[in-house]
Amino acid sequence: MSQLNATLARPHQRYKESFIEAVKEYIREEGSVNWHPEILSTRFDEYLTVMRQAEIEPLAGMVPASCFWLISADQHYLGDVDIRHHLNESLRRYGGHIGYKIRPSERRKGYGTLICRLGIEQARKRQIGDILITCDDDNIGSCRIIEANGGVLRDKIDNGRGVLTRRYWIYAAP
């Protein structure tokens, strides 16, 4: 399947234009993002620096995390995955070790399952044993992606967000 011919890469200047286009898609879908496209177009290097610093000097209340972008064979941004090196109390409830997203125009093509699998591989490289991944109870696509990657539903909890949170564990091999 050629559509799954994609790999993880570190955020980089060469993906700037396709990343900014994806940010515009996220805004149309969700309404807000952390970095606005106009700011990204003039301060992309600063954005990349913030991403790198998150690995060793996270912002207050955050944990160290590594970000990777899923890049197509023709060098376009398809989505991203964050690997949180350890969990704080908030991430134990909602967020987990791995968070991923696929840009809206590239969904339902198998990239979600791929990026989750590649994220698990990156977590294993960081010696993370049992991996927690969460999603909203009504996000059937994410439920299927996590389960396809070996996720075992531990429980569903109320995080006060109006929808239950499913907490899946991917256990380390014995």
Q: What is the pLDDT of residues 38-83, one digit of tens each?
A: 999 999 999 999 999 999 998 888 999 999 999 999 999 999 999 9
Q: What confidence score (pLDDT) does residue 60 get? A: 86
Report yes or no: 6 and 113 within 8 Å, Cβ to Cβ.
Answer: no
CATH for 2-127 (3.20.20.140, 3.40.190.10, 3.90.1170.40, 3.40.630.30): 3.40.630.30
Q: What confidence score (pLDDT) does residue 2 get? A: 41
Q: What confidence score (pLDDT) does residue 1 get? A: 38
Q: Which two tokens stand for residue 95?
A: 């967020």
Q: How far apart are CA 71 and CA 78, in angstroms?
A: 6
Q: What confidence score (pLDDT) does residue 36 get? A: 87
pLDDT < 70 stretches in the chain: 1-3, 32, 174
What is the dihedral angle through the alpha carbons of 70, 72, 78, 82, rounded to the nearest 10 degrees? 0
Q: How far apart are CA 117 and CA 169, in angstroms?
A: 13
pTM for the structure as a whole: 0.93
Q: Is 85 helix (H, G, I), strand (E, B) or coil?
A: coil
Look up tokens 């791929």; give the residue.
114
Q: Any idea where the domains of the chain sit in the sequence?
A: 2-127
The alpha-helical segments, DSSP class H, found in the chain are 16-30, 37-53, 89-93, 111-125, 140-148
End-to-end CA separation in angstroms for the chain: 32
* Beta pairing partners, 8: 70
